[in-house]
Structure 1
Amino acid sequence: MQPIQIPAEWSDNGLLTFEEFCALIRTPQRTVRDWRRRGVGPRWARFDGGGRLYITVAEARRFLRTAKPTATVRPAEERPHG
């Protein structure tokens, strides 16, 4: 599996929508909503009281840099046999 990376040419001041961020990190929207509800994950912003959530590219990079993988895949020879 390829590591999640944000293209180097994206400006840190660029904005991503909630949906774009979820697609970028390959995580279901439901999971990211749960993170937000629990106060974990990246920091979000709304503009002019609008309903849409945004994240800056800089915040997405910060989040990816500090996020710890929740699962690891072991090579087949290390997996327990059933």
Structure 2
Amino acid sequence: MHGIHIPEELHENTLLTFEEFCELIHTPQRTVRDWRQRGLGPRWARFNGAGRLYITVGEARRFIAAAIADSPMRNEHDNA
């Protein structure tokens, strides 16, 4: 199993492509697209409202931190 890791040297405003984000979180693109259609997951941006999807490193970190905080496994551990 591979852990999710965003290199510390990446600045908060660095842009990641949709594909890079999916690789970082080890999640299939289809799953992340489904999240997006359902209004879940991180906030995405497009240049001039068209083209490729991007996410900032800061938003990716926020999303991962929120997912960990909301994890049922974490909540079970905290209540033990």
Which stretch shows the higher mean deviation, 1-10 or 51-60? 1-10
* Structure with the largest fraction of helix: 2
Q: Confirm or deny that 1:4 pairs with 2:23.
A: no
* Structure with the largest fraction of strand: 2
Aligned to 1:51, what secondary structure does the other structure show? Answer: strand
Question: Could you report, residue by residue, the CA deviation over 1:32-64 in whole angstroms, capped at 9, with x for unpaired residues?
Answer: 000000000000001112221000000000001
Normalising by structure 2, what TM-score?
A: 0.80
Q: Confirm or deny that 1:39 pairs with 2:39.
A: yes
Identical positions, percent? 69
Equivalent residue pairs, number: 71
Q: Which ranges of 4 or more aligned residues in structure 1 deviate by more than 2 Å?
A: 68-71
Tell me the residue number matched to 2:26: 26
Distance 1:70 1:35, change over 3 A: farther
Tell me the residue number matched to 1:79: none
Structure 2 matches for 1:3-82, cutoff 5 A? 3-68=3-68, 69=71
Partner Cα separation in structure 2 for residue 38 and residue 49 of structure 1: 19
RMSD: 1.7
Aligned to 1:55, what secondary structure does the other structure show? Answer: strand
- Unaligned 5+ segments in structure 1 are 72-82
